[in-house]
């Protein structure tokens, strides 16, 4: 009798433990969408402040390219781009905070690399912005390409991949250069601004931000060449395929919308379109949204509230924004760049 009761108790305890583990697993590992809906907001990890990408104004309203991506995910889920809570994270804590479920998405100019996916058990669903190392030169040099930089005096931040890429590039092209390296980026900028070197190298998106801070921005030109790969992408946790798919297809919907000519301005017209690929995108044909765990009009919501990829690019970092970065690699694949989204079908 006693042994039976003990057995029963042990059995019960095991059952409770298994159930609890299952619930915990369900809650913490596989259901970001469920928790996001329950919370009524997407938790989005962003940069503490990076012009064009993520910036708070004095009232705490966030704007920028990375910010808009989280708004797009919120628009897809809630039909409301304001249902996002932004959490500024610094470079050292960002991946840990994502792992610890402090955020649902990291949209923080993070470079996708193999070791980051394997080492942190994270997943980068798709490239939102192709960045890479480039060169800013004094306009008086009349350089039209990085291949014209033989013999130049180059300012660079030391002990970085930027410095290594610089060395590789000049060596591969049989060019010589005079390196002036500094520990801090601030000192690199200062040296260039004071004319101690005629070239400054950093990631292209950074170069445009740096140029704004020079004494005479107009005297510097940023060359079109990109010499390294810095694919920036949103990041999610592994083992939540449903969530990963939502994040991935949010970006692809925006890129496809641009390719198909669907914008926040003509979305109502697009909803009446009889073109099959437009109909699949905006949800007037098929059940693509439902298969993601969202609604039929998931992509139309994104486009209406946030815009297509090109609109988001231009508004935040493009030619008419303060930064003025040409589309370059981030132009669509059929218009000079490499942005390419798999079809919705």
Partner 1 sequence: MRGLRHFIWTALAATGLMLSASQSFAQKPDVGDEPGLVADDAYELDPEFRKQMVLYRTTEPPGTIIIQTSERHLYLIQGNGRAIRYGIGVGRDGFQWQGLLNITRKAEWPDWTPPPEMIQRQPYLPRFMAGGPGNPLGARALYLGTTVYRIHGTNRPDTIGTAISSGCFRLVNADVADLYDRVPVGTKVIVRQKPQL
Query: Per DSSP, what are the bridge partners of residue 95?
Result: none
* Rounded CA separation 264/261 (Å): 10
Is residue 148 classed as helix, strand or coil in its secondary structure?
A: helix
Please say which residue, 122 or 137, places its beta carbon nearer to partner 1. Answer: 137
Site for partner 1 contains 104 (CB under 8 A): no
Site for partner 1 contains 74 (CB under 8 A): no
* Rounded CA separation 209/185 (Å): 12
Site for partner 1 contains 144 (CB under 8 A): yes
Site for partner 1 contains 88 (CB under 8 A): no
* Rounded CA separation 262/303 (Å): 8
Please say which residue, 254 or 278, places its beta carbon nearer to partner 1. Answer: 278
Binding mask 238-267 for partner 1 (x = CB under 8 A): ---------------------xxxx---x-
Site for partner 1 contains 319 (CB under 8 A): yes
> Least distance from C-beta 299 to partner 1, angstroms?
14
Cα separation values, 97 from 21, 47, 106, 245, Å: 22, 13, 9, 21
Q: Which of 8, 151, 335, 340 binds partner 1 (CB under 8 A)?
A: 335
Site for partner 1 contains 5 (CB under 8 A): no
Site for partner 1 contains 312 (CB under 8 A): no
> Contacts with partner 1 in 216-235 (CB under 8 A)?
223-226
Cα separation values, 335 from 258, 331, 338, Å: 11, 6, 9
> Least distance from C-beta 217 to partner 1, angstroms?
11
> DSSP assignment of 242-305, as one string?
HHHHHHHHHHHHHHHHHHHT--TTTHHHHTT---HHHHHHHTSSS-HHHHTTS-TTHHHHHHHH
* Rounded CA separation 48/109 (Å): 11
Q: Which of 154, 270, 299, 317 binds partner 1 (CB under 8 A)?
A: 270
Please say which residue, 24 or 139, places its beta carbon nearer to partner 1. Answer: 139
Q: Could you tell me how many residues of this chain bind partner 1 (CB under 8 A)?
A: 28
Closest CA to 302 of 261, 255, 341: 255
Interface positions with partner 1 (CB under 8 A): 144-145, 147, 223-226, 259-262, 266, 269-270, 273, 275, 278, 319-320, 324, 326, 328-329, 331, 335-338
């Amino acid at each position: 009798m006693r042994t039976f009761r003990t057995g029963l108790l042990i059995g019960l305890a095991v059952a409770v433990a298994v159930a609890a583990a299952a619930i915990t697993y369900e809650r913490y590992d596989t259901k970001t969408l469920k928790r996001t809906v329950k919370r009524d907001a997407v938790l989005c990890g962003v940069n503490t402040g990076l012009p064009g990408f993520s910036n708070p104004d004095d009232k705490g309203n966030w704007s920028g390219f990375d910010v808009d991506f989280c708004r797009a995910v919120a628009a897809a889920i809630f039909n409301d781009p304001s249902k996002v809570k932004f959490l500024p994270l610094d470079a050292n804590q960002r991946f840990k905070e994502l792992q610890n479920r402090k955020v649902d998405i990291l949209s923080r100019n993070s470079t996708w690399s193999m070791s980051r996916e394997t080492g942190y058990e994270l997943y980068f669903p798709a490239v939102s912005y192709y960045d890479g190392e480039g060169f800013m030169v004094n306009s008086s040099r009349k350089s039209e390409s990085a291949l014209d930089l033989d013999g130049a005096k180059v300012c660079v931040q030391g002990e970085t991949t930027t410095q290594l890429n610089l060395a590789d590039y000049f060596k591969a092209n049989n060019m010589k250069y005079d390196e002036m390296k500094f520990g801090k980026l601030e000192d690199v900028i200062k040296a260039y601004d004071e004319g101690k070197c005629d070239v400054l190298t950093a990631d292209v998106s950074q170069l445009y931000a740096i140029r704004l801070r020079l004494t005479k921005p107009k005297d510097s030109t940023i060359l079109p060449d990109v010499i390294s790969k810095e694919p920036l992408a949103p990041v999610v946790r592994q083992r939540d395929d449903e969530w990963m798919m939502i994040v991935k297809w949010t970006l692809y919907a925006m890129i496809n919308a641009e390719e198909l000519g669907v914008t926040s301005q003509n979305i109502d017209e697009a909803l009446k379109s009889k073109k099959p690929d437009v109909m699949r995108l905006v949800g007037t044909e098929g059940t693509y949204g439902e298969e993601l765990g969202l609604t039929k009009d998931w992509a139309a919501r994104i486009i209406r509230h946030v815009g297509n990829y090109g609109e988001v690019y231009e508004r935040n970092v493009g030619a008419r924004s303060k930064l003025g970065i040409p589309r370059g690699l981030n132009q669509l694949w059929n218009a000079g760049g490499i942005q390419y989204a798999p079809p919705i079908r």
